[in-house]
Structure 1
């Protein structure tokens, strides 16, 4: 169920250290594949990581984590999450738009990601956005679940 929106447009911004407690709560909503508090802190200070949050009604509603490497043309969408209460408002698409722009600004021509094969909501978001399936990775996750690896061309955008 969606939260009411008081007319304030959702805002994207760089994640800050003060966001970490809320990001940890958000990650805990996804027990099958979550980042630890230590990983979140590490990525926040990593020069090759771009962690962004989206706020709606002055509440942190989701975030994305893009990883890049010097000399690589591919960015990796390492994590994206929208709190269940804020789903269905287009925030996932807004985060993907922002990730693509951030990746292009860093010289990337494509985005890649892995997603649990049982995460139908995320798979639908990625397919609707234009990602194409590259491969299946058997038993990729700790619990033995397969991963689907997707790719998106962002060179022209």
Structure 2
């Protein structure tokens, strides 16, 4: 997995999530999303489906500081989760894990990447907009606390047509 020289020089590494990472990931999940945290079993269930799932973690000084996951059932990829420890926000880690998920979606031949983002999370929305996602729908009261979810889409077919195909 490629990381920017800035992240590498800061001692950040990116790798696939394993079951051994779940306790640390779940602790970060509960801290960041107290109302909407996934049950721990959900992480085990997601990792048990590598044919349609890919999860990554970012580490700094041997500690997990971010994680993200993708489900891909051709032709749609869906960002299942993405989280960065607030102490590490603004360092490019969110961009790095999102880039890895988008590349995985391309490898799996997805035509589009979809995601839900809280309507009250402008920082995440800005990240997705910078990557070319567009808002396509609103799911009212999607989150447990009643907050709307913005549905965003990144078309992959328009960005990088498959090489060697005829028009």
Which residue in the other structure is 2:98 paired with?
96
Segment drifting more, 110-119 vs 50-59? 50-59
1:20–1:37 Cα contact (<8 Å) kept: yes
Q: Deviations over 1:101-154 (max 9, x none)?
A: 111111112100011111222112111221100011111122221110000122
Distance 1:9 1:109 in 2: 34
Give the structure with higher Rg (CA).
2
Q: Secondary structure at the match of 1:62?
A: strand
Which residue in the other structure is 1:36 paired with?
39
Note closer, same or farther for the CA distance 1:89–1:144 as it changes in structure 2 (3 Å cut): same
Gapped regions of structure 2 (runs ≥ 5): 1-6, 161-167
Q: Deviations over 1:73-118 (max 9, x none)?
A: 1100010000111111000000111001111111112100011111
Q: Secondary structure at the match of 1:135?
A: strand
Segment drifting more, 16-25 vs 40-49? 40-49
Note closer, same or farther for the CA distance 1:57–1:7 as it changes in structure 2 (3 Å cut): farther
RMSD: 1.7
Task: Provide TM-score, normalisation by structure 1.
Answer: 0.88
Distance 2:120 2:10 in 1: 33
Which residue in the other structure is 1:134 paired with?
136
Structure 1 residue 68 and structure 2 residue 72: aligned?
A: yes
Distance 1:152 1:76 in 2: 10
